[in-house]
Amino acid sequence: MYTSIGREQGLTDSLRVIVFLENDTLAVLQIFALSSKSSVCRIIESRKPFRVGDSVETILQIPSPEKALTITAQDTSAFVAKEIKPTKSFPVLSQESPSLIKVQGRMSVQYNTMLFDYSPLNFQQSGLVINLHGEVTGMPLKFEMYGNLRTTARGNTGLFTGGSKNDSRIYRMSLEYDDQTSILTLGRILLSYVPSIGYIDGVSIARRFDNVITGASIGFQPSANLQAPSTMNKKFLLFSQYQTKDSWNTTAGAAYARVWSSLGIEREVLSTSVTMYSPNGLFMYTSGDVDLRTISQGKSRTDPALSLLICSVNYRFSNVVTAGIGVDASRPVYSLSSTQSIPDTLLDKKLRSGISFNGGVYLWNGAGINNTFTPRFSDEGFGKEYSNSSSIYFNNVLNTGTMIRMNYLLNENVLTRTQGYGINLQRNILGIDCGMRYQQNHSDIRQFTMTNTTTTFGVDIGAMISRQITLIGSFDALQGLGSNSKSLFLELSWRF
């Protein structure tokens, strides 16, 4: 669905949009492509046909009970909408009879190059990105394919010559049967129940029990380059997910995974995740992995240890102030057979962790401030290593449609101390989204008692050539100590 409202009217990426006709809900949409004056939305739920002239209302804040909208119960559980009038009518959707197989998706042709002062570092890459979603009309059968066909050339090597490299990837390619009770999936799968458990090439069987989905998968662990299927490592998964239907919108998942080869168990891990958001503006997310095995004195043994933890809590105090806190921790994870011959003292098993604090203040008329501060734990003590990122933004400056964003960066660790600042300007000119970026970073390299200043100047464009075809481009020029380069990225995308 294409609309004639965009970023200048207050829309943001991935926003949920409700279509109304005289307070009657026609559909729920979600934005997946956005420009200054237009947007492309994916249809999440459609209850009635669209008609030219239907008004759009955009979900912006949580309602108080006395301001709840007169719409269906499931739509009023979390949101109140503020009307944004379209600048022109919607297109009328096709009323043709549905075909046997319905396919939607995106195909993109890409070209990327980087040129350095030292020509052996030069880089070229061309590719075709394919993202398809399909379903069979009248049957609980659908398929998904997401991947790319890419060729990379380095130095003075030309594309599509003997010296170029095949960097194609298959991220997902699966066929799924889902009758709302049983789920059977075949292919390269990334399970959404606990995504940190990773990919599997094989078969997955699951079943729904009211609010619970539970199942198992068996197959092979894809190679790190995600190209053709590999049979080197076998993989087995058990998973379960619980999802509430109340206003707290809680989703909790857990999974067990074992990877093994002819050399023995390569990895055994337990993963969990919990997501929760409430009507009063509280959002919580946590995800963790516990590796159940380790290598000690060249032998694999059971020794549970935390290998990954991500936890964040964010709260919207009002339409003006938001704040959050997060914790993260991680340690290196190894294939057990690859480390059997390495002495324990040479294996890095250190747990690295830190805390992050973030806050945002909406000032007035599209202006605001965001800041994120992340102190780290290190051998020198807490907070000796840290990063801080601050930004000030102004949307629709003086009603000209111009957006200005300024940033300041500060990073410090035992090796370097870096300060940086930048500015980003964006405006729609003759239907083309145009942007200009400038960034300067100053680094003190302590080990060598030297400094390095890098500057980057960039230009971005984005144009919707038609309702289905989009062109985007980006050019960057980088200057710094031994790192002068120019880069260009182009993409022509067709959505259908």
Angle at the Cα of 414 from the Cα atoms of 411 and 415, rounded to 5 degrees: 80
Query: Are 200 and 62 part of one and the same domain?
Result: no
Q: Are 252 and 224 in contact (CB under 8 A)?
A: no
Task: Report the distance separating Cα 69 and Cα 59, nearest Å.
Answer: 11
pLDDT score of 10? 67
Q: How far is CA 143 from the centre of its chain?
A: 21
Q: Which of 83, 104, 130 is the last residue of a domain?
A: 83
Q: For residue 273, give Cα distances in angstroms to 8, 172, 246, 333.
A: 36, 21, 19, 19
Task: Report the distance separating Cα 29 and Cα 22, nearest Å.
Answer: 18
DSSP 483: -
Q: Which of 38, 64, 83 is the last residue of a domain?
A: 83
Q: How far is CA 466 from the centre of its chain?
A: 26
Task: Report the distance separating Cα 6 and Cα 58, nearest Å.
Answer: 11
Residue 366 domain flag: no
pLDDT score of 309? 96
pLDDT score of 76? 29
Residue 455 domain flag: no
Q: How far is CA 194 from the centre of its chain?
A: 15
Q: Are 408 and 420 in contact (CB under 8 A)?
A: yes
Residue 336 domain flag: yes
pLDDT score of 97? 57
Task: Report the distance separating Cα 238 and Cα 216, nearest Å.
Answer: 4
Residue 415 domain flag: no
Report which residue type is found at 362.
Y
- pLDDT tens column, 99-145: 788 899 999 999 999 999 888 999 999 999 999 999 998 889 999 99
Q: What are phi and psi of 419, to 5 degrees?
A: -120, 140
Nearest to 111 by CA among 460, 489, 469: 489
Residue 345 domain flag: yes
Q: How many independent structural domains does the chain possess? A: 2
Enter the tokens of residue 219: 């197959």
Task: Report the distance separating Cα 199 and Cα 191, nearest Å.
Answer: 7
* Residues 6 or more apart in contact with residue 245 via CB below 8 angstroms: 211
pLDDT score of 52? 55
Q: How far apart are the first and last CA of the chain?
A: 11
Give the residue numbers spanning the domain of 63.
2-83
pLDDT score of 450? 83
Residue 462 domain flag: no
Query: Are 72 and 201 part of one and the same domain?
Result: no
Q: Which of 49, 83, 117 is the last residue of a domain?
A: 83
Query: Are 51 and 174 part of one and the same domain?
Result: no
Query: Are 54 and 179 part of one and the same domain?
Result: no
Query: Are 217 and 331 part of one and the same domain?
Result: yes
Residue 219 domain flag: yes
Residue 12 domain flag: yes
Ordered per-residue pLDDT tens for the chain, 496 residues: 777 777 766 677 667 777 766 556 677 777 777 777 777 777 777 766 665 555 555 443 323 333 333 333 233 223 333 444 444 444 444 445 567 888 999 999 999 999 998 889 999 999 999 999 999 988 899 999 999 999 999 998 888 888 899 999 999 999 999 998 999 999 999 988 777 888 999 999 999 998 999 999 999 999 989 998 999 999 999 999 999 877 788 999 999 999 999 988 999 999 999 999 888 889 999 999 999 998 777 788 899 999 999 999 999 998 899 999 999 999 998 888 888 888 878 888 899 999 999 999 998 778 999 999 999 998 888 999 999 999 999 988 877 889 999 999 999 998 899 999 999 999 999 889 999 999 999 999 887 778 889 999 999 999 999 989 999 999 999 998 777 999 999 999 999 9
pLDDT score of 323? 96
Query: Are 75 and 221 part of one and the same domain?
Result: no
Query: Are 201 and 301 part of one and the same domain?
Result: yes
Query: Are 285 and 181 part of one and the same domain?
Result: yes
DSSP 66: G
Nearest to 143 by CA among 99, 180, 105: 105
Query: Are 301 and 204 part of one and the same domain?
Result: yes
Enter the tokens of residue 276: 């929760």
Query: Are 195 and 78 part of one and the same domain?
Result: no
Query: Are 191 and 57 part of one and the same domain?
Result: no
